[in-house]
Amino acid sequence: MQIKYSILREYSRMPSLPLHKRDVLLSNSTHADLASIPAIGTLGKLLLGAQLDLRTDSPVAANTRLGYNLAIIAMQQELPEIDPPSFEVVDQTLTNAAIMISIIPTISMSSIQLSQLESIAARCASFNARGRQVFLRFAPDFNAGWMIYGQQPTAFISVWNKLFSLLKSNSAFNTLMVWSPFEGSGYPFAGFKYSALPKTLDFSKLDTNSDGALTPSDDPYGPYWPGGNSVDWVGLSIFYKGANYPQIHNDIPPPNRLHDMFTGELVPGQVNFYQVYAEKLAKPMMISATATVYHVTANSLTPPPGGANEVDIKSAWWKQCTTNTTFLNQYPKLRAIVLEERVWNGHNAESVWKFDWRVLNNTLSAFKSDMHSVESSYEFATPLSAYVKTWQGVSGVPANRPPSNAVPIVPWDPKANAESGNSTSPAINFVQLGLVPLFCLAFISILIWCAIEYFSVRRRALNPSTSEESLPENALAFANNESGGEISSVKEAFDFDNVDDLDTIVDGRPGGPQSDPFDDNRSYISSSSFNQMRV
């Protein structure tokens, strides 16, 4: 796939152009060879990511607070798409961070159309074409009864395989599909609006022990498995809300709780997710969303009386996983951890409470201290400036073939391209070419007008018979203003309306539509390094 440098530059200069149109522009463009650009995640280390509330936060701000560059920026996008997320915030980090897109259907699985899947694939392709690594987390928590698309294994597998085929139809597509259920300790998640109904095909498939009922003894994951050839990564959503329902008390998570959820040991006889899907099937795994909660009232944002403090609660969770060297070494197939960094609204009996999952806020100092002790286990996103500097310092490298640690998106250098025999030049923008003579004509006209007015005023000044009252109003103003008047600012002249207002972030608000509180819902890569990501 080829995308010209100038097209990439134009992409970043189009704040008023709808995102999907920019995607089309990119997918129809050409670029320099990206064959030797490294992908994030190929060093065999863990990737740290976060799902931020982009109404009040940003990846740039989070990186600044944390002191590390997040390797994965997670976002959500509804299906059908209403307002796309502000994906540009990833580019604003000026790093090679990957993007993880969680596709959240707001319709049943059987209602999803092929054209909608093609649109998803096209968007992923546009990011890949720019060199951005994508993790596509399609319909996460598909085994949960609170999701409108949940507990529909037949349609889920069919839709999944169609989307996977679209994404793999072109070798240039470097998007990794992440198969990510909700951890099964509460399975079968009965009694929710979208829980599977008896005497249906899906119910019979979910009844894995054929006892005529859905119980904790049934496999919470297997019926939804689309096959090893249709999955790149596996993931698991793991949260701790509290000891008992309604979960409105600030409890410290029990020791090893996350580990037991991770391995299925919390429920006797339950499937060990890591062992079955990561180890035996040789799939890289991520904890695709995780946190423990600190409860505050919705109105006053104060915690309930008698509970543990926020640092003790949240540190007890991250010390079980994110900063636990023993845990990280015990599970080498675990390749990424994505933090839930948002506040959710409670529902039903918990509706007067907010669920604060964040660690990059009041608990930031404690989290950074613990992260420092395990930072060598993680690979963080690298600033693009580091790549550019290295490229400029390498001799004998053709301008159209960067070294392995270089960034391809650099200003076009005609001299360098001529020396290397590369005739590629910035794309010609015929609209801009047409505007050039118009601007020149307008500029020349203004100069002529000013000259005429200037000599007219001087002639009148030399002619006593010409009174000030007889001067044209515009000439009088010109003569009396030494500066010749002020020109309005660029902002006043060009007031663009940015369609990617952060307030329109898809499902960024807590408790999005059709969801339960559990709705958690330039990396530059070559085909060779992409293959490394799949093992």
**pLDDT > 90? residue 402:** no
Over residues 129-135, the mean pLDDT reads 90
Instruction: Give percent above pLDDT 70 in the chain.
Output: 68
CA dihedral 403, 404, 406, 408 (to 10 degrees): 80
Over residues 97-115, the mean pLDDT reads 97
**pLDDT > 60? residue 236:** yes
User: Can you tell me the distance from the alpha carbon of 502 to that of 141, in angstroms, rounded to the nearest whole number?
Assistant: 25
pLDDT band at residue 461 under the 50/70/90 scheme: low
User: Can you tell me the distance from the alpha carbon of 411 to that of 25, in angstroms, rounded to the nearest whole number?
Assistant: 19
Q: Are 19 and 147 in contact (CB under 8 A)?
A: no
Q: pLDDT by residue (tens digit) across 298-354?
A: 888 889 888 999 999 999 999 999 999 999 999 999 999 999 999 999 887 788 889
**Per-residue model confidence (pLDDT) at position 39:** 67
**Per-residue model confidence (pLDDT) at position 42:** 75
**pLDDT > 80? residue 454:** no
Q: pLDDT by residue (tens digit) across 411-421?
A: 323 333 333 33
**Per-residue model confidence (pLDDT) at position 245:** 78
Q: pLDDT by residue (tens digit) across 481-535?
A: 333 333 233 233 223 233 333 332 233 333 333 334 344 433 333 333 434 444 4
User: Can you tell me the distance from the alpha carbon of 243 to that of 254, in angstroms, rounded to the nearest whole number?
Assistant: 9
**pLDDT > 80? residue 363:** yes
**pLDDT > 90? residue 69:** yes
User: Can you tell me the distance from the alpha carbon of 240 to that of 443, in angstroms, rounded to the nearest whole number?
Assistant: 66
Over residues 242-269, the mean pLDDT reads 90
CA angle 447, 451, 455 (to 5 degrees): 175
User: Can you tell me the distance from the alpha carbon of 421 to that of 399, in angstroms, rounded to the nearest whole number?
Assistant: 9
Question: What H or E segment, with its residue span, contains residue 420?
Answer: none
State the greatest distance between any 2 C-alpha atoms of the chain, in Å, as a whole number.
112
Helix ranges (H only) for 200-256 are 201-206
pTM for the full predicted model = 0.69
**pLDDT > 90? residue 43:** no
Which residue in 401, 467, 437, 495 sits closest to 32, CA to CA?
401
Rg (CA), the chain: 29
What the block records as the tokens of 288 is 């695709």
CA dihedral 89, 93, 95, 97 (to 10 degrees): -40
